[in-house]
Structure 1
Amino acid sequence: MSFDVDALLAELDLDAKARLLAGQDVWSLPGLPRIGLRSVVLSDGPVGVRGVRWSPDDPSVTLPSPTALAASWDPRLAVRAGRLLAQEARRKGVHVLLAPTVNLQRSPLGGRHFECYSEDPLLTGMIGAGYVTGVQDGGVAVTVKHFVANDFETERFTADVHLSERALRELYLAPFELIVRRAKPWGIMAAYNSVNGTTMTQHDELLNGVLRDEWGFDGFIVSDWLAARDTVASANGGLDVAMPGPRTVFGEQLAEAVRGGEVDEDVVDEMVRRVLLLAHRTGALGGGPTPWQSTVDGEAIAREIAHRSFVLLSNETGVLPLRAPQSIALIGALAADPKILGGGSATVFPEHIVSPLDGLRKAVPPSTDLAFAIGADPRTTLPPATDNFRLRATAKAADGTRLAEFPLREAKINWIGELPRGLDLATLASVEIEGTYLPERSGTHTFAVTGPGDLRLTVAGQTLFDGVNLPEGGDVFTSIMQVIEQRREVELTAGELVDVSLTYWIPSEMAEFARGTFAWVTFALGHRGPVLDPDAALDEAVALAGKSDVAVVVVGTTAEVESEGFDRTSLALPGRQDELVRRVAAANPNTVVVVNAGSPVELPWRDDVAAVLLTWFPGQAGGDALADVLFGREEPGGRLPTTWPAKLEDAPVTDVTPEEGVLEYGEGVYIGYSAYAKTETQPAYWFGHGLGYTTWVYEELDVYPDDEGGARVRVRVRNSGTRKGREVVQLYLAPTERGDRPPRWLVGFASVEAGPGESVESDIVVPPRSAEVWRDGWRHIAGEYVLEASHSYAQPRLSTRVVLQKIR
């Protein structure tokens, strides 16, 4: 079928056009069979493709977190990740991926920063452009988000961000601009927040003026879910699609606004053109472009991205890679139950997870003894019941009628946005997790319930909890992202089967959420068997470490620390993990600490251990990748995409809480490494830092002008070590006369590989924008600069003086 958008548009009356701009449900746009338009399906990302069901019975390949992908400093790897996600999207019937997130890591307290790439706009834009290219190669659209200045979670639905035009242009708009110009995305997502007094879903100046008119963006703009608030202002302000459907500010309301003369029908026609173009590009209308066809091995690329992202922060004694120790003590609750991804809308469900314990058990040499101890458990809520439980979920109507049954792999229900097929919010009254449990050990078993609303827990014929589970104040909506847990204990005997039931009644407020169109049914049954008391668990771990050749301690954050929906209040590792590391390190000088966190945490013991390895949220294959790196089969290839403070007080930006609805970005252009350098504050680890298993000598730096007014830079480096390795060559530009500019900033980078003794060259383009600032428009600042080829922000290796004069 040919694609003639004008002809198709002519066949639609006003009501049909208006309907196309409001979702038909939570995750899709309506189809129009008479013009050949199929329904367009949207789905959350960015580490996997969930599909339209938020359920573990529809598994997804789960890649490492966006911070991990950015730590690779490799846009080509991001392209491959995007192609895998396009493959997953097509498998699940998804046309539009709601990713990538290219907001900046303005403050280390940002609760959702694991989903963002970096504190630096260039690195963010380059990785984001690679990701977008890969996804769209596969015929699947993206929605680059959240446009713009949605760099925090506290009051993010309503906050008004006040910032200077210069900061907006040089920092927060910059990655979006780079991606639009380089990768030409088919979609952008407008954020919840306001910018300088105007809500982003109706921000004519930024949506129409900057995004479309100035940058030439030709795709569609969709609201974040429930973000569109005003029919007329949103349509005239540049929004194309209001989600979720079917009752939004568009649809019938938009048609009435046109009939009332508040919105010109020509505006609606342009909105529909962009939606039809989206459908064409993704194959839902008229065939569309031929997508990239090669098959991507999801497990293999998940494992590769993981080890390419791991950042070796320190390795002072050379303990890594491990050289066939006779015994290894693996310590930490996260070694057995790691955090592989961040919480919130980025959540997907992998078919399997390789934990550090699993990975090391498979990889450890036959001559090496591997023993495990929990040591300290940082989790403040119990994990969902799984082992030795046989469970199902039963959905019921108000009169007790069974509406449907579903098998469960774990004791958790997450029906968010859309209910399973056959269920309706109008008739669903309760959901019960029910089944049996066969205890392996006698003693005190702890059960826990989470979920906002009325719950009743019964175990072995005893009612352990029957009441309302809401945060203080009783507001059901604040508990959507804020987990409130109730724990109860019961004595059970090994080998004696018991019945288990947890019933959840849907709160009336939740049933009416978004006028009955957006489900949010989420609750869980947690369980923990008899365990050592915390002091005994620590003692056991220390004793194990003391008699082992090497101790590997896995520490990190939890779902209660890093998630969408709230910002962090501390950078300290939760629980007694710092105490665990200190005591293990005192017992064993060969202590390797593995940090399983999505964004910066304090590491007060970092100088007291043999090595520190950062693995981020490493996705489903993280345990295999960890074994690869620990035993030296692969090099830890990552470099920090954000600066890590030694302690929270050293962080230059810690203000993430609006006051009277306003969040001031008063720091201007000084965030991340620029802010540390301006105040001469020494962080724990600088932006760009990361060690490998070899060493590099920087031999030559040459600069050539290019035809665009920028420069081409050639850097030759030599692998001076004894094994093959990878180096990330980073270029920084420092003005000899600073004025109101940072001391220096990233202007380009490239990754290279070489064997022992080999030299390799990188060719890096430095664009003209690198020497421009925003002063009522982009202004080139001519003059003398120092160009540095560096191993990290704080480790320049070669430098040369250049005079940059604007040519074009």
Structure 2
Amino acid sequence: MAASKAQLQPTLDVDLILAKLRIDEKIALLSGTDFWHTAAIKRLGIPAIRVSDGPNGVRGTKFFNGVPAACFPCGTAIGATWNTDLMFRVGQLQAEEAIAKGASAILGPTINIQRSPLGGRGFESYSEDPYLSGELAAQLISGMQDKGVLATIKHFVCNDQEDHRQSADSIVSQRALREIYLKPFQIAQFRSEPQCYMTAYNKVNGTYCSESSFLLQNILRDEWGFSGMVMSDWQAFFSPGLVAYLILCRTGTYSTAEAVKAGLDLEMPGPAFMRGRLAEKALSCNKLSIYELDICVRRVLEFIKKAMRLGLEENAPEKSADTPETAKFLRELSAESIVLLKNDSDILPFKKDKKTIVIGPNAAMAAYCGGGSAALDAYYTVTPLQGISSQCSNTEYTLGAPGWKKLPFISNETKTKNGKEGLDMTVYLEPPEVLDRRSVDYIHVKKSDVILLDYKCPGTKDFLFYADIEGSLKPDVSGEYDFSLSVAGTAKLFLDGVCIVDNATKQTRGESYFGTGTIEEYGSAQLEAGKTYNIKITFGSDPTATYERPGASGLSGGGVRIGMARRLDLQAEISKAKELAKQADQVIICAGLNSEWESEGFDREHMNLPPGSNELIEAVSQANPNTVVVLQSGTPVSMPWVNKIPAILQAWYGGNECGNAIADVIFGDVNPSGKLPITYPVKVQDNPAYLNSRSQRNRIIYGEDVFVGYRYYEAVEKEVLFPFGHGLSYTKFKFSNLLLELDKIGEHIIVSLTINNEGSVSGSEVVQIYIHQLNPSVPRPPKELKGFLKVGQMPGEGETFSKTLRKKDMTSFWDEERNQWIQEKGEYEVLVGTSSASTPLRATFKVDETTWWSGL
């Protein structure tokens, strides 16, 4: 393919181009042209720049039938590594993935604070602690930008829940805003200088983030010295009406002049909605000046200039970068994120030559990532069952209890007319009742969750089209089978010509498709083993929907999810699991959540496991005490059986290699070294944000103030299930000889201690450094994480390690009277240990005078 002029131009002279741009071209540069590209100005050699999600992998430009990608462990799994060196490598590999997808910028990392276990996108973020989040994000960003790919840190700021995320006002004190919610961004800015920020959907203290000059100008640019580009968050297309069919693009931008003046440079996605003609109008009536417009245009041009250094072809074809090296690294990363929560009597690691029973809903399915914009099609996935079976030949499996929120994909069981796995999708411009309609497209559906957010239907400029989705089904077991449809649009499911699910005639809005789709509608039929059945779904795209969506956008072309499962008798399944467990030497229960329970678009209703999981775990543990429970979730789950199970692993959503990583830890090929980046409360009501985690008439009061997570539990001495920073090992470490010393200029404190591996195997431990101010003038948490260090040691090895920390970062809090950071005169205690609840080493130092400071 011939290179474009934009590709041949090595750089941009921003001043020269700014002087040559027409007003309409300047306005065009301030909005995307589609979901993933900035505007190109061909006559001046300005190329379109591609950006791509996201936090745990680089999807590319397609939600549906796109080019597969490497799926990294989710945000909390990243947080659980507590390994900054590893994060740099993560950033580098994500950058290589982006380059393969033709993207110059990655929309990540996500570093919002996990103030509640119920946050729908909690799994995307790293931690409840701002210091841990900021330090890990900084290294990941440095790795990305080391390869020339621009990082877009998000969501700035206080997008900590999904409930009414586009209208909610986060009411937060200035002290909590500074010490908790802005702090990870501040640390990342100081250490890595990300080139882009993405604003949050919500308001903060009465003003939308995307039009807050306080956040974007006063803090980000003036105080922190950020000189890069700020872009808005995305939202799906909205398609109201079938007659005029005006297509609006609803974004995280809610104004024209106000957002430009505040410093929001780029409205995404495109085409322009709050800019374009509205910007022309604002200029014409002097609500917006050319000077103010030019400030944003300059920053967009600077972003394009930096992106061009990669030399990527404009509108480059998307490629796969699946290599053995990538697989090896993802396996290492996933294994390092796994947290050994409990290991009574050292029953783990298990033996590979023992009879092993694998039980549970998460065993034979790959819960490799959460839902929403973080989801992507992985190169491949490895289930826990596959990983365990590959290392232990004497393995047997049974389900035990269903763990799905929606029925499993019907595409797991169907074949196309050509014998491929999946379904045939034929697209039309006319509805099914039109005789002799002509097809305009054909798509092989590999997974029956058909998201047509970015699908462009041939022969039409709008999003109104229809499709028949068909396949054959031959069940292995006779019985009653349930079928389901959830849809953004309309759909009916036919079995051998008989309609058994109708999600078109009467529709109810639900959580599907980012909260724009319906609930899951069900139907059932008796099927015979070995008999072939025809499955047909008639689908109408999003504009055909009949349910009301006040305050929410539609989903462009819409989407349909088709599920199917044999109806189960829960008690019979549990009884079968018990009997098999009795015959085994060792039992592995794989339970937890998946992308249907944790997703963008909605918050969790509770901390419970799916129905039946707790009963299964209790029953199996009684049948065989040599049982380990492997949990997968992005945020805490309740464990009423915790005292009855000797060993528990938290395995998160571990990406492509999750199943292999779980097996590596269970069988001892990898010594677990993950540490919890979030506190696990006994029950959700114990969480300090419990009464204030949801929108109350479009306001969310951050009533816990600075006492988020472990800061609160330590302050009120509340018992927790597992504390922040907790994680066991197959070896034993001993900490001793804590020493503090000042550097020569007195600005840094050097914390040193001796670590001994007193066990029989190699392993890694995380040194966690907390600070406590004695007699502060305001209430402060008894412990605040201010430093950490991950070290690896051979058995019997002892060594002294040190960490240098900036004294004012260790000691300061936000003074709301002076509107500055204050380092208060007095005595401070350094507490060192292996979790927030275990800090046996203590030493003190003094600050001789009170000082105030601003900036980074």
TM-score (ref. length: structure 2) = 0.89
Correspondences of 1:173-192 after superposition (within 5 Å): 173-192=182-201
1:88 aligns with 2:97: yes
Instruction: Determine the structure 2 residue equivalent to 1:705.
Output: 742
1:492 aligns with 2:527: yes
Instruction: Determine the structure 2 residue equivalent to 1:733.
Output: 771
Corresponding letter in the other structure for 1:769? D
1:615 aligns with 2:648: no
Secondary structure of the corresponding residue to residue 282 of structure 2: helix
Question: Using the alignment, how far apart are the partners of 1:98 and 1:526 within structure 2?
Answer: 31
Corresponding letter in the other structure for 1:209? N
Instruction: Determine the structure 2 residue equivalent to 1:449.
Output: 485
Corresponding letter in the other structure for 2:603? D
Q: Relative to 1, partners in 2 of residues 1:528 and 1:766: Cα closer, same or farther, differing over 3 Å? A: same
Q: Relative to 1, partners in 2 of residues 1:609 and 1:477: Cα closer, same or farther, differing over 3 Å? A: closer
1:662, distance to aligned residue in structure 2 (A): 1.2
1:502 aligns with 2:537: yes
Corresponding letter in the other structure for 2:265? D
Question: Using the alignment, how far apart are the partners of 2:771 and 2:751 within structure 1?
Answer: 12
Correspondences of 1:746-785 after superposition (within 5 Å): 746-767=785-806, 768-775=808-815, 776-785=819-828
1:318 aligns with 2:346: yes
1:561, distance to aligned residue in structure 2 (A): 2.5
Instruction: Determine the structure 2 residue equivalent to 1:405.
Output: 442
Corresponding letter in the other structure for 1:444? E
Secondary structure of the corresponding residue to residue 721 of structure 2: coil
1:256, distance to aligned residue in structure 2 (A): 3.0
1:285, distance to aligned residue in structure 2 (A): 8.8
Corresponding letter in the other structure for 2:303? L
1:548 aligns with 2:584: yes
Instruction: Determine the structure 1 residue equivalent to 2:710.
Output: 673
Question: Using the alignment, how far apart are the partners of 1:482 and 1:299 within structure 2?
Answer: 35
For residues 275-326 of structure 1, the C-alpha deviation after alignment (integer angstroms, 9 at most, x for no partner) is 11111212279899xxxx9999321222111110000000012111113452
Q: Relative to 1, partners in 2 of residues 1:597 and 1:517: Cα closer, same or farther, differing over 3 Å? A: closer
For residues 368-389 of structure 1, the C-alpha deviation after alignment (integer angstroms, 9 at most, x for no partner) is x211111111213111122342
Corresponding letter in the other structure for 2:504? V
Q: Relative to 1, partners in 2 of residues 1:431 and 1:764: Cα closer, same or farther, differing over 3 Å? A: farther
Secondary structure of the corresponding residue to residue 789 of structure 1: strand
1:521 aligns with 2:558: yes
Q: Structure 1: where are the runs of 5+ without partners?
A: none
Corresponding letter in the other structure for 1:127? L
1:87, distance to aligned residue in structure 2 (A): 0.9
Corresponding letter in the other structure for 2:540? W
For residues 741-768 of structure 1, the C-alpha deviation after alignment (integer angstroms, 9 at most, x for no partner) is 1112111001000101111333212222
Question: Using the alignment, how far apart are the partners of 2:232 and 2:696 within structure 1?
Answer: 25
Question: Using the alignment, how far apart are the partners of 1:475 and 1:112 within structure 2?
Answer: 17
Q: Relative to 1, partners in 2 of residues 1:703 and 1:470: Cα closer, same or farther, differing over 3 Å? A: farther
Question: Using the alignment, how far apart are the partners of 2:554 and 2:282 within structure 1?
Answer: 23
Corresponding letter in the other structure for 2:35? V
Question: Using the alignment, how far apart are the partners of 2:336 and 2:413 within structure 1?
Answer: 32
Q: 2:756 aligns with which of 711, 718, 727?
A: 718
Correspondences of 1:534-683 after superposition (within 5 Å): 534-654=570-690, 655-683=692-720
Instruction: Determine the structure 2 residue equivalent to 1:463.
Output: 499
1:481, distance to aligned residue in structure 2 (A): 5.7
Corresponding letter in the other structure for 1:783? G
Question: Using the alignment, how far apart are the partners of 1:389 and 1:146 within structure 2?
Answer: 41
Q: Relative to 1, partners in 2 of residues 1:578 and 1:423: Cα closer, same or farther, differing over 3 Å? A: farther
Q: Relative to 1, partners in 2 of residues 1:745 and 1:481: Cα closer, same or farther, differing over 3 Å? A: farther
Question: Using the alignment, how far apart are the partners of 1:424 and 1:657 within structure 2?
Answer: 41
Q: Relative to 1, partners in 2 of residues 1:470 and 1:104: Cα closer, same or farther, differing over 3 Å? A: farther
Question: Using the alignment, how far apart are the partners of 1:71 and 1:479 within structure 2?
Answer: 27
Q: Structure 2: where are the runs of 5+ without partners?
A: 1-9, 235-250, 314-320, 417-422
Instruction: Determine the structure 2 residue equivalent to 1:800.
Output: 843
Segment of structure 1 superposing worse, 213-222 or 652-661: 652-661
Q: Relative to 1, partners in 2 of residues 1:532 and 1:249: Cα closer, same or farther, differing over 3 Å? A: closer
Instruction: Determine the structure 1 residue equivalent to 2:86.
Output: 77
Question: Using the alignment, how far apart are the partners of 2:510 and 2:404 within structure 1?
Answer: 24
1:435 aligns with 2:471: yes
Q: 2:784 aligns with which of 745, 756, 764?
A: 745
Question: Using the alignment, how far apart are the partners of 2:455 and 2:828 within structure 1?
Answer: 58
Alignment coverage as a number of residue pairs: 798
- Residues 145 and 190 in structure 1, CA contact (< 8 A), matched pair in contact too: yes
TM-score (ref. length: structure 1) = 0.95
- Residues 2 and 286 in structure 1, CA contact (< 8 A), matched pair in contact too: no
Correspondences of 1:257-296 after superposition (within 5 Å): 257-283=282-308
- Residues 73 and 639 in structure 1, CA contact (< 8 A), matched pair in contact too: yes
Secondary structure of the corresponding residue to residue 504 of structure 2: strand
1:251, distance to aligned residue in structure 2 (A): 2.5
Q: Relative to 1, partners in 2 of residues 1:480 and 1:343: Cα closer, same or farther, differing over 3 Å? A: same
Q: Relative to 1, partners in 2 of residues 1:192 and 1:510: Cα closer, same or farther, differing over 3 Å? A: farther
1:140, distance to aligned residue in structure 2 (A): 1.5
Q: Relative to 1, partners in 2 of residues 1:277 and 1:421: Cα closer, same or farther, differing over 3 Å? A: farther
Question: Using the alignment, how far apart are the partners of 2:62 and 2:259 within structure 1?
Answer: 29
1:231 aligns with 2:256: yes
- Residues 353 and 620 in structure 1, CA contact (< 8 A), matched pair in contact too: yes
1:805, distance to aligned residue in structure 2 (A): 4.0
For residues 91-114 of structure 1, the C-alpha deviation after alignment (integer angstroms, 9 at most, x for no partner) is 111122111111100111212100
Q: 2:272 aligns with which of 242, 247, 255?
A: 247
The alignment-based identity, stated in percent, is: 34
Segment of structure 1 superposing worse, 691-700 or 390-399: 390-399
1:341 aligns with 2:369: yes
1:387 aligns with 2:413: yes
Segment of structure 1 superposing worse, 507-516 or 117-126: 507-516
Correspondences of 1:193-208 after superposition (within 5 Å): 193-208=202-217
Question: Using the alignment, how far apart are the partners of 2:324 and 2:802 within structure 1?
Answer: 28
1:432, distance to aligned residue in structure 2 (A): 2.4
Secondary structure of the corresponding residue to residue 357 of structure 1: helix
- Residues 53 and 415 in structure 1, CA contact (< 8 A), matched pair in contact too: no
RMSD across aligned C-alpha pairs, in angstroms?
2.5
Secondary structure of the corresponding residue to residue 28 of structure 1: coil
1:422, distance to aligned residue in structure 2 (A): 4.0
Secondary structure of the corresponding residue to residue 771 of structure 2: strand
1:610, distance to aligned residue in structure 2 (A): 1.4
Corresponding letter in the other structure for 2:581? A
Question: Using the alignment, how far apart are the partners of 2:652 and 2:681 within structure 1?
Answer: 16
Segment of structure 1 superposing worse, 662-671 or 451-460: 451-460
Q: 1:303 aligns with which of 325, 331, 347?
A: 331
Question: Using the alignment, how far apart are the partners of 1:556 and 1:205 within structure 2?
Answer: 41
Question: Using the alignment, how far apart are the partners of 1:286 and 1:299 within structure 2?
Answer: 27
Secondary structure of the corresponding residue to residue 531 of structure 2: coil
Secondary structure of the corresponding residue to residue 537 of structure 2: strand
Segment of structure 1 superposing worse, 722-731 or 647-656: 647-656
1:247, distance to aligned residue in structure 2 (A): 2.7
Corresponding letter in the other structure for 1:349? D
Corresponding letter in the other structure for 2:831? E
Q: Relative to 1, partners in 2 of residues 1:463 and 1:266: Cα closer, same or farther, differing over 3 Å? A: same
Q: Relative to 1, partners in 2 of residues 1:510 and 1:491: Cα closer, same or farther, differing over 3 Å? A: closer
